[in-house]
């Protein structure tokens, strides 16, 4: 199975997001990763539904919205309306994971759960039937450009094994500190979607990484 790349706009030039989305599309991206921060679950504030809505008509890319927000339940409607294809919520941000996931699925789009580096995959135990994606965070959420935490590699393997054992078609996304040097190892551990922000938008020849990584595992 080939891996998909989901470049994160967090490291793009925010003054010209429409062009940046076009650029990753031309370089072979399958998805675009949108990091939504609310200044509460994490200290930073990034973008909200109006920006997602503004970009929607300009791209055919699958819009993968990663909600690093405290009250995801309230934000589901606005992001669905804005055109997101998938909403991923942080497991740590809600006491009502089942309810939030059902609410996303009820809107007819895909649902994912993100796990912080210290969060065990056992939180997924009773929500597997509601999942289209599991996002294993390989940095602590809040900022781009951090270093990959190798201690999450066994968790990637454990989640991949669960998906296989249950016979599910759930994507396994890895987010944080992904670059040319570690992408292959992360895919070998079981990732099917790799997020990369600074490695795509800020590194030399970063755009070429999209096609390179998309060919791994083929
Ligand atoms: C971190 C975000 C990531 C981040 C990835 O809070 O969820 O998506 O932008 O950026 P890099 O690839 O630079 O670690
Ligand atoms: Zn993210």
Kindly state the tokens that stand for 133: 């994606």
pLDDT of 218 reads: 58
Percent of the residues in the chain that have a pLDDT greater than 70, as a whole number: 99
For residues 21-48, average pLDDT: 98
Mark out the alpha helices in the chain (DSSP H runs).
17-26, 49-55, 72-82, 97-106, 153-166, 183-189, 198-201, 208-214
Q: Atom of ligand 1 at shortest distance to CA of 198?
A: 13
Ligand 1 centre from 110 Cα, in Å? 21
Residue 216 has pLDDT above 90, yes or no: no
Neighbours of ion ligand 2 (CB under 5 A): 35, 66, 175
Give Cβ neighbours of residue 197 (< 8 Å, ≥ 6 apart).
Answer: 7, 8, 9, 10, 11, 12, 33, 35, 144, 145
Q: What is the pLDDT of residue 2?
A: 79
Residue holding tokens 């891996």?
Answer: 3
Mean pLDDT (whole number) for 21-29: 98
């Amino acid at each position: 199975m080939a891996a998909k790349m989901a470049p994160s706009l967090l490291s793009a030039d925010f003054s010209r997001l429409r062009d940046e989305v076009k650029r990753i599309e031309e370089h072979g991206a399958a998805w675009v990763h949108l990091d939504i921060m609310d200044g509460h679950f994490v200290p930073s504030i990034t973008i909200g539904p109006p920006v997602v809505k503004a970009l929607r008509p300009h791209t055919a890319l699958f819009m993968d919205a990663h909600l690093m927000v405290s009250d995801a339940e309230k934000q589901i409607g606005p992001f669905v309306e804005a055109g997101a294809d998938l909403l991923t919520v942080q497991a740590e941000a809600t006491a009502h994971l089942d309810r939030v996931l059902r609410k996303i699925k009820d809107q007819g789009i895909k649902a994912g759960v993100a796990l912080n580096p210290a969060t065990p995959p056992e939180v997924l135990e009773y929500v597997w039937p509601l999942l289209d994606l599991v996002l294993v965070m390989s940095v602590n959420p809040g900022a781009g450009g951090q270093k990959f935490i190798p201690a999450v590699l066994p968790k990637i393997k454990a989640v991949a094994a669960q998906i296989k054992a249950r016979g599910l078609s759930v994507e396994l996304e890895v987010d944080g500190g992904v670059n040319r040097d570690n992408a292959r190892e992360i895919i070998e551990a079981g990732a099917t979607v790799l997020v990369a922000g600074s490695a795509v938008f800020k590194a030399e020849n970063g755009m070429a990484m999209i096609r390179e990584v998309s060919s791994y595992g083929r």
